[in-house]
Structure 1
Amino acid sequence: MFLSENEFKSVIRNTPLISIDLIIENYQGQILLGQRINKPAQGDWFVPGGRILKDETFSKAFIRLTQSELGLGVKITDADFIGPFEHFYKNNYLGDDFSTHYVVLGYHLKLDIDIKKLPQQQHASYKWFNKPELLNADDVNYHTKLYFLNK
């Protein structure tokens, strides 16, 4: 269920959002990142993912998100759960007047994906990153880097 802009703004202002992040690793050990179009984290390289909707199970959200973010619906049972994470941003998707708080469920998938065929609603471009390159890049989002620290 999608909310009106005013309702969603009120939710972001007053509650954490729950989302799933997709840590996609190809068979060469590289990680898929997309350059975000929207706030928060606009312009940063970030893993694909998105919000879980009200009355949506984890399983249904996972299939919907992999379909919309990767162009192929993948079952949650095909992924490895890597844990819960929290993301805090000073801004929100509409502006800078209040913060955004996400509770994120991280899932790892091994997939070889043609980045030229990926949807571009959330990311302007995509790139495969080696883990050391990802961890040392200034334009990879801090929250994305946390998935790879101590691994």
Structure 2
Amino acid sequence: MSDLRNQTDEQNTRIPDDEWETIVANVPLVSVDLVIRHKGGVLLGLRENEPARGEWFVPGGTVFKNETLTDAVHRVADEELGVDVSIESRLGTFQHFYDTSEVEGVDSKHYLATAFEVTLDNEHVTMDTQHSQLKVFEPPYEGLHPYVKRYLDALD
């Protein structure tokens, strides 16, 4: 998921590390996740950052203040994959609890993630640094992170 700490707001200012630590330590993060239907399966990325480092996971990111969920979906698709997407459906809002965090001194992370089923508007996908690989997974979906499996169950 995109790290809001590295993003900028309308005034083009970065959230200072100590404030980001306070947010992650005390507040659930509102985010969007993209369940990308592609070539008979679902496109997942191998995560390079916490939480869920080393897991095949859907692209996603934190929603900015004053940003709609659908605007966040399009921004995340552009930032993480270099493409736009078409939203097919809203799968619902899911709670994710992690026992890890990228923030030193904070040992957990909590997301309220709204998942969207999407399709790619073109085939020219480029990875960001959060993923080391992209791969299409086809049914039956086995060995995936439990939160990804919940999304895939919601597709049916």
1:79-94 correspondence runs (5 A): 79-94=88-103
Q: CA deviation at 1:126?
A: 0.7
- Alignment of 1:13 with 2:17, yes or no, is no
Question: Contact 1:90–1:96 at 8 Å: present in 2 too?
Answer: no
Mapped to 2, the partners of 1:124 and 1:96 lie a distance apart of 26
- Alignment of 1:128 with 2:123, yes or no, is no
Matching residue of 1:3: 15
- Given residue 147 of structure 1, which amino acid in structure 2 is its aligned partner? Y
Query: Which segments of 5 or more consecutive residues in structure 2 lack a partner in the other structure?
Result: 1-8
Equivalenced residue count is: 143
Give per-residue Cα distances to partners, 1:50-84, cap 9 Å, x unaligned.
11012222233222111112212346xx3311111
Q: Stretches of 4+ moved more than 6 A in 1?
A: none
1:49-128 correspondence runs (5 A): 49-74=60-85, 78-95=87-104, 97-111=106-120, 114=123, 117-128=125-136
The equivalent position to 1:147 in structure 2, one of 134, 151, 155, is 151
Query: Which segments of 5 or more consecutive residues in structure 1 lack a partner in the other structure?
Result: none
Mapped to 1, the partners of 2:47 and 2:103 lie a distance apart of 14
TM normalised by structure 1 equals 0.84
- Given residue 108 of structure 1, which amino acid in structure 2 is its aligned partner? E
Question: Contact 1:39–1:95 at 8 Å: present in 2 too?
Answer: no
SS at match of 2:153: coil
SS at match of 1:131: coil
User: Cα RMSD over matched residues?
Assistant: 2.0
Q: Percent identity?
A: 34
The equivalent position to 2:45 in structure 1, one of 14, 25, 34, is 34
Question: Contact 1:84–1:106 at 8 Å: present in 2 too?
Answer: yes
SS at match of 1:91: coil
